[in-house]
Every structure is written in structure tokens, then in C-alpha cells.
């Protein structure tokens, strides 16, 4: 069975001829993907519900693998994360040997504000316990995150600029070339404390 002939007026859907897993396997895969993507963004179920238009109770059931969502519901969830439907449900084993992320691929720019720009540097469709990001913070810009899953840690390297890292109430100052690791299962933040832009590579490691 293949996904084909899907039309949506909200955003284009990129369709690849990828075999679809059996319903039970697909539900398990989707539940895990949802938990992973939410954690990566620091979103609550309520935040995802607001972004996707899918009820909080339905999202909770999907994550707990107690629901088999319709194609329309799955598509709304994918769009909330800036993904194609195929990227959301593709099985890990179906990926190519080499995956390239182009600098100007807007699907990987999931936050672009005046003082905070985030670009995903790891493929969005893979089941993984490590995520890699490029974070650019303008003067006075900050990236504040809610607590992720227990045991989650983040690693950062400052490419340029000056940055204050905060986790669980502790703070430290970093400059270009400095690296740090900190707990991400508590509220945490990165703040540009310098005069120019700060550029940071961020790695999130889930337990």
C-alpha cells in the first residue's frame, strides 16, 4: 500500500512512495514520534492542540497508542510541526543511506523571529534519541524551554558571541569556543548577553 493523491489547501504535502506499516505498528510509531517531537520543542499537549487543531484528549490517546487517528488528523499534526505527512509517519528503515539538509530548506527552520532563529540539523523523520540544532540569538535574544523528559540533557558549543546558560536556577557565562552541558529535564534557557549575535550549536540527548 502506498500514500498517494493527498491534497491539502494549507500547505503542500511531499509524497514519496514509502510502504506504510501495519496499523498497530503505525500507531506505535506515531505515538513515539509525537512524544519525541513535543519534547524537542518543549511543547505541552495543550500547545500542540492549539497548533494543530486536534483535541488534547485525542493527542494524549495517540501518544499512549490508544487511538488510530484518521488521515486528516495525522496531517494536521504533521503540519503543526512543519513536516510533511510522509516525514511524520515514515518508518526508520525506509530512509536513504545519505540524508542531506539544505541550508535554505524552510521545513527545517521551525522558529524564525527577530531575536531567535532555530534550524534543525538532524533529519526530522528519523526515530532518534539525539537532535542537533543551530541557534542564532540576536542581541538580547533568548531561548527559554520548559522541562523535557526526565534524564534529558543538552550540550552546546558557542560558535560566536557571548551566551548565558541557565538550568535549575544555576547560571554560567560562555564565550566563543566554549562548550557546556546541562540538565534539560528542568526549565532552562540560553540568553545572548553580548553586544552582537550569538551563534550556538545545540545537541539534545534523550534518555
- Look at residues 94, 120, 150 and tell me which one is the last residue of a structural domain: 94
> Does residue 194 have a pLDDT over 50?
yes
pLDDT at 36: 80
Structural domain of 62: 23-94
> Does residue 93 have a pLDDT over 90?
no
Mark whether 120 and 173 lie in a shared domain.
yes
Mark whether 78 and 137 lie in a shared domain.
no
Domain with 166 in it: what CATH number?
Answer: 2.60.120.10
Mark whether 159 and 134 lie in a shared domain.
yes
Q: Count the domains in the chain.
A: 2
Mean pLDDT of the chain: 78
Gap between the Cα atoms of 145 and 125, Å rounded: 22
pLDDT at 21: 41
Say if 12 falls within a structural domain: no
- pLDDT tens-digit series, residues 68-84: 888 888 888 988 888 87
Q: For residue 202, give the nearest of 155, 163, 167 by alpha carbon.
A: 155
> Does residue 11 have a pLDDT over 60?
no
Contact 124, 87 (CB under 8 A): yes
Say if 156 falls within a structural domain: yes
Mark whether 60 and 124 lie in a shared domain.
no
- pLDDT tens-digit series, residues 119-147: 888 776 555 678 889 999 999 999 999 89
Mark whether 111 and 201 lie in a shared domain.
yes
Mark whether 120 and 80 lie in a shared domain.
no
Residue 2, C-alpha cell as written in the block: 502506498
The angle, 0 to 180 degrees and rounded to 10, between the axes of the packed helices 56-63 and 45-52 is: 120
Say if 182 falls within a structural domain: yes
> Does residue 37 have a pLDDT over 60?
yes
Mark whether 110 and 90 lie in a shared domain.
no
- Look at residues 36, 71, 94 and tell me which one is the last residue of a structural domain: 94
Of residues 132 and 97, the one with the higher pLDDT is: 132
> Does residue 18 have a pLDDT over 70?
no
Of residues 179 and 95, the one with the higher pLDDT is: 179
Contact 201, 134 (CB under 8 A): yes
Cα dihedral 7, 56, 124, 87, rounded to 10, equals -30
Mark whether 84 and 60 lie in a shared domain.
yes
pLDDT at 10: 30
Percent of the chain beyond pLDDT 70?
A: 74
Mark whether 127 and 85 lie in a shared domain.
no
pTM of the model as a whole:
0.55
pLDDT at 120: 82
pLDDT at 176: 95
> Does residue 23 have a pLDDT over 50?
no
Percent of the chain beyond pLDDT 90?
A: 37
Q: How confident is the model at residue 53 (pLDDT cuts 50, 70, 90)?
A: very high
Gap between the Cα atoms of 8 and 34, Å rounded: 21
pLDDT at 127: 54
Contact 135, 143 (CB under 8 A): yes
Mark whether 70 and 138 lie in a shared domain.
no
Domain with 37 in it: what CATH number?
Answer: 1.10.260.40
> Does residue 8 have a pLDDT over 70?
no
Say if 53 falls within a structural domain: yes
Say if 14 falls within a structural domain: no
Say if 18 falls within a structural domain: no
Kindly list the distances between the CA atom of residue 93 and the CA atoms of 20, 58, 125, in Å, as whole numbers in the listed order.
Answer: 12, 27, 11
Mark whether 131 and 200 lie in a shared domain.
yes
Say if 10 falls within a structural domain: no
- Look at residues 94, 120, 153 and tell me which one is the last residue of a structural domain: 94
pLDDT at 90: 65
> Does residue 94 have a pLDDT over 70?
no
Say if 122 falls within a structural domain: yes
Mark whether 79 and 151 lie in a shared domain.
no
Amino acid at each position: 500500500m502506498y500514500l498517494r493523491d493527498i491534497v491539502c489547501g494549507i500547505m503542500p504535502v511531499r509524497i514519496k512512495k514509502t510502504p506504510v506499516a501495519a496499523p498497530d505498528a503505525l500507531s506505535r510509531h506515531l505515538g513515539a514520534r509525537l512524544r519525541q517531537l513535543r519534547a524537542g520543542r518543549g511543547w505541552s499537549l495543550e500547545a500542540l492542540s492549539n497548533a494543530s487543531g486536534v483535541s488534547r484528549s485525542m493527542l494524549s490517546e495517540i501518544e499512549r497508542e490508544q487511538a488510530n487517528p484518521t488521515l486528516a488528523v495525522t496531517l494536521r499534526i504533521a503540519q503543526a510541526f512543519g513536516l510533511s505527512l510522509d516525514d511524520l509517519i515514515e518508518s526508520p528503515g525506509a530512509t536513504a543511506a545519505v540524508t542531506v539538509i539544505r541550508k535554505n530548506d524552510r521545513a527545517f527552520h521551525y522558529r524564525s523571529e527577530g531575536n531567535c532563529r532555530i534550524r534543525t540539523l538532524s533529519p526530522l523523520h528519523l526515530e532518534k534519541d539525539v537532535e542537533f540544532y543551530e541557534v542564532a540569538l540576536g542581541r538580547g535574544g533568548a531561548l527559554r524551554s520548559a522541562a523535557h523528559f526526565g534524564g534529558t540533557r543538552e550540550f552546546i558549543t558557542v560558535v560566536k558571541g557571548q551566551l548565558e546558560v541557565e538550568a535549575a536556577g544555576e547560571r554560567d557565562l560562555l564565550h566563543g569556543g566554549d562548550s557546556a552541558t546541562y540538565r534539560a529535564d528542568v526549565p532552562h534557557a540560553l540568553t545572548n548577553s553580548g553586544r552582537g549575535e550569538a551563534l550556538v550549536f545545540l545537541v539534545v540527548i534523550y534518555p
